[in-house]
Amino acid sequence: MVGDLILSGLRIPAFTPSELRFGYFETAATIPALLYETRLVMFNLFRRRAAKQRVSRKYTADEITIGPMLAADLPAVWRLERASSRTPWPVSLFQDLIEDSRHTVLAAKVGTRLVGYLLYEHKGEIGHIANICVHVEYRRRGVASCILTSVLKRMRKEGFAASELEVRQTNMDAQLFYKKFGFITYEIIAAGYPDTQEDCFLMRLPLAEQSHNTLRY
């Protein structure tokens, strides 16, 4: 692969051809990007080994129902938020967003149990993923993959040129997850999260072939 980095005998797929094509080197500071990438790969190696020992069967798409989040789902959403996040979003925010036509708010259920959600904002030609969360007891079982696969299909149908999102520098679970779907980091905003002073990674996945040439990086 173009741009691979060899560190201590490890092949690090730091830059895919598309990352090079989209100007990763021009827009992100190369050295911090390489350091972040190396840390991510190391993290992945250790987490994968640990996860393999405990992960149970993965869910398939037909076992997960994905549909609009309803007001009746909000108590379950709050339980999920409290169990899964250090900074849970208030229920009132979900309430506002499900009523806002510029947002699509989706809930994922296994049977009747709410196990995850994803919400995205319609920002012109961009489908901006504002949040995705899977209940902590259901992680590494393919739930988020089912949700995102369905959402990207939906975004393509809705005519979005690309999907974008922001992710914290320390949130490596999420970075690995998005990378698996082909999202690339096209910019790093130093101390972009004022609460923790963490860097903010801006990631993007082009959805339409022609958007490779028209989107600015």
Ligand X SMILES: CC(C)(COP(=O)(O)OP(=O)(O)OC[C@H]1O[C@@H](n2cnc3c(N)ncnc32)[C@H](O)[C@@H]1OP(=O)(O)O)[C@@H](O)C(=O)NCCC(=O)NCCS
Residues in contact with ligand X by the rule CB under 6 A: 44, 47, 84, 131-134, 139-145, 165, 167, 171, 173-174, 176-177, 180
* CB 214 to ligand X: min, Å: 25
Cβ burial, residue 160 (10 Å; 0-12/13-18/19+): buried
Closer CB to ligand X, residue 38 or residue 44? 44
C-beta of 175: minimal distance to ligand X in Å? 9
Q: How far is the CB of 155 from ligand X (least distance, A)?
A: 16
In the bound complex, what is the minimum distance in angstroms from residue 199's beta carbon to ligand X? 13
Nearer to ligand X, 123 or 212 (CB): 123
Nearer to ligand X, 66 or 133 (CB): 133
Residue (194 or 210) nearer to ligand X, CB: 194
Is residue 24 within 8 A of residue 186, CB to CB? The reply is yes
* Residues β-bridged to residue 120: 104, 129
Whether the CB-CB separation of 146 and 61 falls below 8 Å is answered with: yes
Confirm if 69 and 106 have CB atoms less than 8 A apart.
yes
Write the single-letter amino acid at 27.
Answer: T
**In terms of Cα–Cα distance, which of 142, 189, 147, 137 is closest to 168?**
189
